[in-house]
Amino acid sequence: MTRCDLLIRGGTVFAPETKAFTREDVAVRDGTVVLRGKNLPEGGAASVLDASGCLVSPGLIDLHCHIYPVFPYVREDSLRTVNVEEHALRAGVTTAVDAGTCGWRNFGDFKENVIDRTKLRVLAFLDMAAKGMAYTDSEQAVADINPRIAAAVAQEWSGCIVGFKSAHYWPRHEDAAHPAFASIDGALEAAELTGKRVMVDSIPVVPERSYPAILRRLRPGDIHTHVFAQQFPLLDEQKKVMPYLWEERERGVHFDVGHGSGSFWFWQAVPCFAQGFWPDTISTDLHHQNVTGPVFDLLNVASKFLAMGMPLAEVLYRVTRAPALAIDHPELGVIREGACADLAVLRLREGRFGYIDCGGGRLSGEGKLECVAAVRAGEVLYDPEARSAPDWQDAPAPYWTPPGQLRSWELRTEKEETP
Ligand SMILES: [Zn+2]
């Protein structure tokens, strides 16, 4: 085998395209997967990550989270976000899609100070409210909904803006200044101008903006997030999935979990799941107020579906390949030669585990997914079991540096530059 930077050895590789599991090793060079195969030799590898007993999945993609730091908090009702590196990697997430924390007024700051400064891949839906989720009132400012400017901003940063978010536009008393569909229609117009998707978080508070009417407004490929929130009429009196949901799915509307603090109830999800109305993607809506529950992280949300009875391959598909396709990034969510080496090494714990929903209800079921290691662009960024590290007696010296002196990564860089 030709030389490689990292060999992930002994794991069971999940291929989302076929939903198959295969005992294979994965070789990585220059941030890219260069080879998959059985029993690849270790000799040519600069570093080996022992994945024995684990699953090797494409790095997870969280389609809906909130990471742009609105800090210091503008107001009491500003959305408190999370530090993406602290919370994503430990759940195997290598691509975080910020769902509309920023609008066109503040996206440049997000790009410069977060997206360009993290090793994670951060993508975003641009919010139709000009300042994004700065505070509730600012999200109702119809005059600031400007599809043409939003489209121009999305084109300026087309590498990281994947679509437009309509969220939290909830005028309870519709008037001439607050048309029921002002935000959704703005997002649709911006999406038409750019060829991008729309993600909608819209509570049906006015009669003409019922949930079926919201879905009917969306185009095939547009995303409704928070599908299992309690405000949506998903089930009839006999707990049967409403016919319009099957019709909208057939038409191509995409249903995303977007768990959040108040958007996931087992009394909605379990009957839907039992009747085959499964979400297209599983995402967190992670922010400061749900990171200690009921969301915790993407693997906890994914494990809720395992516990409901969704097969492992279907769960993993919905946090890897399905979100990649939903945002028109088909190069992501795969492990194949030539693909970027974004990888998650996961452990499936067997046994019964309890999970909580937004109403404080418990569901117990089989299985729990945990992250053992996360690799982004070929670099091991999360490895709490030291599976890629040499034994301390064999570690190259100096492997510990007193505080205040050069950190280990700086020493490594120096060493590499020495001929
Ligand atoms: Zn959200």
Distance 170 CA to ligand 1 centre (A): 14
Beta bridge pairs of residue 362: 356
Give me ligand 1 centre to Cα 308, in Å.
23
CB 59 within 8 A of CB 342: yes
Q: What is the largest CA-CA distance in the chain?
A: 74
401 C-alpha to ligand 1 centroid (Å): 41
Tell me which residue of 223, 298, 232 sits closest to 260, measured CA to CA.
298
Residue 338 DSSP code: T
Q: What gap in Å lies between CA 241 and CA 221, rounded to an integer?
A: 21
Cα 108 to ligand 1 centroid, rounded to whole Å: 20
- Measured in Å, residue 55 CA sits from the centre of ligand 1 at 29
d(CA 56, CA 28): 13
66 CA from centroid of ligand 1 (Å): 6
The angle formed by the CA atoms of residues 99, 102 and 104, to the nearest 5 degrees, is: 125
Tell me if 26 sits within 8 A of 10, measured CB to CB.
no
Q: DSSP assignment, residue 340? A: B
* Among 77, 65, 143, residue whose Cα is nearest residue 101: 65
Least confident of 137-141, 332-336, 380-384, 413-417: 413-417
Q: Answer for the pair 21, 280: CB distance below 8 angstroms, yes or no.
A: no
Residue 35 domain-assigned (yes or no): no
Q: Is residue 227 assigned to a domain?
A: yes
Q: Whole-model pTM?
A: 0.93
How close is the Cα of 380 to the center of ligand 1, in Å? 29
User: What is the spatial distance between Cα 327 and Cα 162, in angstroms, rounded to a whole number?
Assistant: 6
> What does the alpha-carbon distance between residue 51 and residue 372 come to, in Å, rounded to a whole number?
9
pLDDT band at 82 (very low <50, low <70, confident <90, very high): confident
Q: For the chain, give the percent of residues with pLDDT over 90.
A: 80
Query: Is the residue at 44 inside a domain?
Result: no
Residue 305 belongs to domain with CATH number: 3.20.20.140
Judge whether 406 lies within some domain.
no
Number of domains in the chain: 1
Are the C-beta atoms of 127 and 100 separated by less than 8 Å?
yes
What is the Cα Rg of the chain in Å?
22
Q: Please indicate, yes or no, if residue 376 is contained in any of the structural domains.
A: no
pLDDT band at residue 135 using 50, 70 and 90 as cut-offs: confident
Q: Looking at the domain assignment, is residue 348 inside a domain?
A: no
Q: How confident is the model at residue 42 (pLDDT cuts 50, 70, 90)?
A: confident
Express each pLDDT in 168-220 by its tens digit: 998 766 677 889 999 999 999 999 999 999 999 999 988 889 999 999 999 99
* DSSP class per residue in 239-269: SPBPHHHHHHHHHT-EEB---TTTS--HHHH
Give kind and range of the element (H or E) at residue 215: helix 211-217
Instruction: Evaluate whether 234 touches 278 at the Cβ level (below 8 Å).
Output: no
Cis previous bond, 207, omega within 30:
no
C-alpha 99 to ligand 1 mean position (Å): 6
Cα 177 to middle of ligand 1, angstroms: 25
Domain-located, residue 54: no
What's the 260 CA to ligand 1 centre distance in angstroms?
7
Q: Is residue 106 included in any domain, yes or no?
A: yes
Q: Nearest to residue 373, comparing CAs of 46, 39, 59, 12? A: 59
Task: Kindly report the length of the chain.
Answer: 419
Residue 64 CA to ligand 1 centre (angstroms): 6
Q: Containing domain of residue 224, as a range?
A: 59-329
Residue 356 pairs in a beta bridge with 362
